[in-house]
């Protein structure tokens, strides 16, 4: 395009005020107000001008087209980024999808706590100032058998706090096989450096013996640390001393033991045939002095780092300045408390905490869900796709029980008539996005992680997505 015609094109672009006073713009002004609309009009015009200058736009838009572009931009501006998503991946603790969904009693209290004032730091019996953590501390102690407890922002924060308070400038003895990196590039060795503690690794990647710890502990040692290797397993020629032995060795030398449990299971999932995850109370019983674990992994509550242990140590942690910086808000505490209360009755916990329910779902339950989903999907695709229910395996996820395979049922969609990739992409772009998987030329929906109440919504989302690609 010549310079002259480009100039001509630019001249055809209306000025901001002309757009604002146009009848097309009137409804936008009503809804969004003058300031926001004129700012957006100016942004849209600048964008178009740049496209014209770059030769990407050969024609000036009509007033109607311009106002439509402004409206699209305003709608996007008001759309919240965070949306509810249907998880059809079968990964129960899906970090990208927000890990643990909350139990409905936790959601109820969350809404109540969020929408008004609350007795966060007030003792209603005496009318005096109370402590923020008192409500959950008692409950955590009752459920784990610990003497005292503290809650911080997440388990990564808990590790940092414990190392800083207990071992700044001192040695921490840890097995080489436990110097793990967990998601979000959190490395035990680096957190240790950040905390000011001095790492003293013992043993080898696959084997560490009691005598390795015995030789390493000296007057400079402040802590023996054990890290649960949450997200991987070393199998074969391996050895680690059992927890009781580790505690005995450390205590004989007057050194406390800290265990980062990672997930922190409050009930014994082994009873349900799931995994080999030790429970939190087993660590307490073994005599471990300080234990930390996540609130939103197997426990199934909000993001939090729960620290439990002997009174004298928890007291010291509470006094550390970092604790104030890592403190949790009222919403976290309210939801955590409601979730913990469900654990008072194990059956209730399994039924009502979504993470536990999904992990322990019966085959009949999965079968009913899969049949309902499959029959809904068949009505959408008719002869354009083959929909069947097949066996599969789900994962726990969230860096928990990495080798555990949970037998599940998948709804598989196969088609030579349309692109499954295009459908999967369209499913992410509808009102309630659905995250499914593509494997070996099939679009797979693992029903384990779809709530029963979501099955019809899932079908509706697929229907819309399919309409958008047809
Ligand atoms: C997950 C995990 C953490 C971090 O917990 P967050 O609550 O995600 O911060 C720390 N240590 C271990 C062993 C873990 O598995």
Centre of ligand 1 from the C-alpha of residue 308, in Å: 15
Q: What does the angle CA 211 – CA 217 – CA 222 come to, to the nearest 5 degrees?
A: 145
> How much of the chain is helix, strand and coil, in % rounded to 5?
50, 20, 30
Nearest residue to 271 (alpha-carbon basis) of 397, 360, 396, 340: 360
Centre of ligand 1 from the C-alpha of residue 367, in Å: 33
305 Cβ inside 6 Å of ligand 1: yes
Whole-prediction pTM value? 0.91
Nearest residue to 181 (alpha-carbon basis) of 231, 226, 125: 231
Centre of ligand 1 from the C-alpha of residue 184, in Å: 10
Centre of ligand 1 from the C-alpha of residue 157, in Å: 9
155 Cβ inside 6 Å of ligand 1: yes
Residue nearest to atom 14 of ligand 1 (CA): 262
Token digits for 45? 């015009």
Map residue 387 onto helix, strand or coil: strand
Chain region(s) in the chain for CATH 3.40.640.10: 104-352
Please tell me the distance from the alpha carbon of residue 36 to that of residue 16, in angstroms, as a whole number. Answer: 12
Residue nearest to atom 5 of ligand 1 (CA): 155
Please tell me the distance from the alpha carbon of residue 262 to that of residue 229, in angstroms, as a whole number. Answer: 8
Nearest residue to 335 (alpha-carbon basis) of 95, 103, 23: 103
Domain covering 86-94+358-469 in this structure, CATH number? 3.90.1150.180
Alpha helices in 187-259 (DSSP H): 188-195, 210-216, 243-252
391: enclosing H helix or E strand: strand 386-397
Return the ligand 1 atom nearest residue 230 CA: 15
The DSSP result for 116-169, as a single string, is S---TTEETTTTEE--TTHHHHHHHHHHH--SEEEEES-HHHHHHHHHHHHHTT
Centre of ligand 1 from the C-alpha of residue 398, in Å: 9
182 Cβ inside 6 Å of ligand 1: yes
Ligand 1: residue of 100, 230, 291, 336 to mutate (most ligand atoms within 8 A of CB) is 230
Please tell me the distance from the alpha carbon of residue 330 to that of residue 99, in angstroms, as a whole number. Answer: 20
Predicted local confidence at residue 1, as pLDDT: 65
Centre of ligand 1 from the C-alpha of residue 156, in Å: 6
Q: Which residues contact 212 (CB under 8 A, 6 or more apart)?
A: 175, 202, 203
Nearest residue to 75 (alpha-carbon basis) of 40, 109, 43: 40
Nearest residue to 89 (alpha-carbon basis) of 445, 458, 452: 445
Return the ligand 1 atom nearest residue 304 CA: 7
Is 357:346 a contact under the CB 8 Å cutoff?
A: no
Handedness of CA 242, 248, 253, 256 (dihedral sign): positive
CATH 3.90.420.10 assigned to domain 104-352? The reply is no
Q: What is the CA radius of gyration of the chain?
A: 28
Predicted local confidence at residue 96, as pLDDT: 93
Residue nearest to atom 11 of ligand 1 (CA): 262
From first to last of the 470 residues of the chain, give the pLDDT tens digit.
677 888 888 888 999 999 999 999 999 999 999 999 999 999 999 999 999 988 888 888 999 999 999 999 999 999 888 999 999 999 999 999 999 999 999 999 999 999 999 998 888 899 999 888 888 999 999 999 999 999 999 999 999 999 999 999 999 999 999 988 877 778 888 999 999 999 999 998 889 999 999 999 999 999 999 999 877 787 888 899 999 999 999 999 999 999 999 998 999 999 999 988 889 999 999 999 999 999 999 999 999 999 999 999 999 999 999 999 999 999 999 999 999 999 999 999 999 999 999 999 999 999 999 999 999 999 999 999 999 999 999 999 988 888 889 999 999 999 999 999 999 999 999 999 999 999 989 999 999 999 999 999 999 999 999 999 98
Residue whose tokens read 């939103």? 296
Nearest residue to 43 (alpha-carbon basis) of 71, 5, 9, 7: 71
Token digits for 148? 């005292």
What are the DSSP E strand ranges found in 271-370?
290-294, 305-309
Residue nearest to atom 2 of ligand 1 (CA): 262
260 Cβ inside 6 Å of ligand 1: yes
Is 441:416 a contact under the CB 8 Å cutoff?
A: no
Alpha helices in 22-95 (DSSP H): 26-32, 34-53, 63-78
Please tell me the distance from the alpha carbon of residue 76 to that of residue 22, in angstroms, as a whole number. Answer: 22
Is 260:155 a contact under the CB 8 Å cutoff?
A: yes
Please tell me the distance from the alpha carbon of residue 457 to that of residue 448, in angstroms, as a whole number. Answer: 15
153 Cβ inside 6 Å of ligand 1: no
């Amino acid at each position: 395009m010549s310079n002259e015609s480009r100039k001509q094109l630019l001249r055809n672009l209306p000025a901001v005020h002309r757009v604002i006073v146009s009848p097309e713009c009137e409804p936008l002004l009503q809804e969004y107000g003058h300031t926001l609309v004129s700012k957006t009009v100016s942004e849209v015009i600048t964008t178009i001008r740049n496209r014209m200058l770059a030769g990407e736009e050969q024609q000036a838009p009509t007033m109607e087209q311009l106002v439509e572009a402004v409206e699209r931009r305003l709608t996007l501006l008001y759309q919240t980024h965070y949306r509810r998503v249907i998880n059809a991946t079968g990964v129960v603790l899906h970090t990208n999808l927000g890990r643990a969904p909350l139990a409905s009693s936790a959601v109820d209290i969350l809404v109540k706590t969020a929408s008004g004032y609350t007795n966060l730091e007030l003792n209603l019996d005496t009318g005096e100032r109370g402590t923020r953590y008192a409500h959950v501390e008692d409950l955590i102690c009752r459920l784990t058998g610990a003497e005292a407890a503290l809650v911080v922002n997440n388990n990564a924060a808990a590790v940092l706090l414990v190392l800083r308070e207990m071992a700044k400038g001192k040695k921490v003895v840890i097995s080489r096989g436990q110097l793990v990196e967990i998601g979000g590039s959190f490395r035990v060795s680096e957190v240790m450096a950040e905390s000011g503690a001095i790492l003293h690794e013992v043993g080898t990647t696959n084997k560490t013996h009691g005598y390795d710890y015995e030789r390493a502990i000296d007057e400079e040692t402040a802590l023996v640390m054990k890290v649960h290797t949450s997200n991987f397993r070393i199998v074969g020629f391996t050895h680690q001393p059992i927890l009781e032995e580790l505690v005995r060795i450390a205590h004989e030398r007057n050194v406390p033991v800290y265990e980062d449990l990672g997930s922190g299971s409050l009930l014994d999932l082994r009873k349900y045939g799931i995994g080999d995850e030790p429970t939190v109370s087993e660590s307490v019983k073994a005599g471990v002095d300080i234990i930390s674990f996540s609130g939103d992994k197997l426990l199934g509550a909000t993001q939090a780092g729960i620290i439990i242990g002997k009174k004298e140590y928890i007291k010291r942690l509470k006094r550390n300045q970092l604790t104030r910086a890592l403190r949790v808000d009222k919403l976290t505490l309210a939801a955590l408390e409601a979730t913990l209360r469900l654990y008072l009755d194990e059956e209730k916990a399994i039924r009502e905490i979504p993470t536990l329910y999904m992990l322990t779902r019966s085959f009949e339950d999965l079968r009913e869900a899969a049949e309902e989903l499959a029959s809904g999907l068949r009505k959408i695709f008719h002869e354009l796709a083959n929909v069947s229910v097949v066996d599969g395996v789900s994962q726990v996820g969230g860096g928990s029980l990495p080798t555990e395979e949970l037998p599940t049922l998948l709804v598989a969609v196969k088609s030579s008539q349309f692109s499954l990739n295009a459908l999967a992409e369209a499913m992410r772009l509808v009102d309630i996005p659905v995250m499914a998987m593509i494997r070996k030329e099939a679009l797979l929906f693992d029903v384990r992680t779809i709530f029963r109440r979501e099955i019809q919504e899932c079908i509706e989302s697929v229907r819309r997505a399919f309409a958008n690609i047809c």
